[in-house]
Amino acid sequence: MELLLVKGLCLGGTIIGLFIMTVVPLKCVARPQTDFGQRQRRTSRALGLMSCFAGGVFLATCFLGLLPTVREKVESALTMKDFKVNYPLAETVTIVGLLLSVFVEQIVHTCQKKPQRTGLLKMETLGSSKQTSRLGRSSESDSDSESSSDAEHQSLRYSTHNGHLHHDHFEGVGELTSFRSYVLLLALSVHSVFEGLAMGLQEDMGVFVNLYIGVMIHECLAAFALGVNLVSANMKTPTVLKLALLFCIMVPAGMGAGMGIQTQPGFVTAVISAILQGLAAGTFIHVTFFEILGRELEKDGDRLLKVLCLTVGFSILATIAFVLQR
């Protein structure tokens, strides 16, 4: 009963928190054709570090919480029918979940329109404002040229690397279309449902708390990134609000489904629960290693600081798991 109450409170808090994070960009993110300033660069850096922290949280959640739970669920289901299987079923189901998550992501990338690469991309490698002027726009004075070069350079940094799905928070904002924003919303929603499902299926308070912390950090970052994309696609405010509401109910929907499954005891329910938790664990592994760590750690700058954030995130969740186990 106590766990059920906690889950209910978390449902409400999740909806409110994710909605706020999704609509925040309406106020703090520039619309298209607006120069990106120092504030946006600082925000992007902070989001990168927070993503690595969330990656550490997910790392601990996956290997210290979800995978042991999946093994336990599989063994429990097999015990009900006195089945003895030496094959690693739990790990297999988890890998299937990982592959499904990768498959969904690649479908999204296939649907996304590839950016047009022009000579302006070479601005990244040019050192002088005079060379920049020849490729893009002309200037009337040296100072105007330097200012224009800085703004154009920053804008291109964000507008020419738009192939990533989750955590390239500001990359590609200048060329996003409404269609691509809807595709992005669909992909994020699929991830969110599975993350909510994993939480709803939990029967242990400690595992649930660890999982909820990780999911909320990750989902808040994803919600903010989605809001940035919606705003940058030049969508109207009412449309952004509607899509934000749609996205923020995905995690609670998954949680509700998981809680509903847990209320129906029996062999079939045990098998379904084990399979769904395995698929959810695979989704978490994909998010951890592909969506967060793979993309954040390959970027230049703050590499050691990102590793530190990763370690801190893992250590905090590992400590919480140890304390709650006792």
Strand blocks (E) in the chain? none
Give pLDDT tens digits for 186-210. Answer: 767 877 888 888 888 888 887 888 8
Residue 175 has pLDDT above 50, yes or no: no
C-alpha span between 137 and 121 (Å, rounded): 14
Name, in order, each residue with C-beta under 8 angstroms of 115's C-beta and a sequence gap of 6 or more.
Answer: 159, 160, 162, 163, 172, 175
* Averaged confidence pLDDT in the chain: 74
Name, in order, each residue with C-beta under 8 angstroms of 166's C-beta and a sequence gap of 6 or more.
Answer: 188, 191, 222, 225, 287, 291, 292, 295
With 0-12 CB in 10 A as exposed, 13-18 as middle and 19+ as buried, what is 64? buried
Across 125-129, average pLDDT: 41
C-alpha span between 310 and 101 (Å, rounded): 22
The pLDDT of residue 143 is 46
Q: CB of 277 within 8 A of CB of 71?
A: no
What are the counts of helices (DSSP H) followed by strands (DSSP E) for the chain? 14, 0
- Sign of the torsion angle spanned by Cα atoms 258, 264, 266, 267: negative
Across 15-24, average pLDDT: 90
C-alpha span between 17 and 31 (Å, rounded): 23
C-alpha span between 229 and 172 (Å, rounded): 8
Burial letters 293-321, b for 16+ CB under 10 A, else e: bebbbeeeebeeebeebbeebbebbbebb
- Sign of the torsion angle spanned by Cα atoms 201, 58, 41, 158: negative
Q: Which residue has the tokens 């590839």?
A: 114
The pLDDT of residue 294 is 84
Domain ranges of the chain: 8-115+160-325
The pLDDT of residue 202 is 83
The pLDDT of residue 166 is 45
C-alpha span between 236 and 31 (Å, rounded): 11
C-alpha span between 190 and 215 (Å, rounded): 14
Residue 103 has pLDDT above 70, yes or no: yes
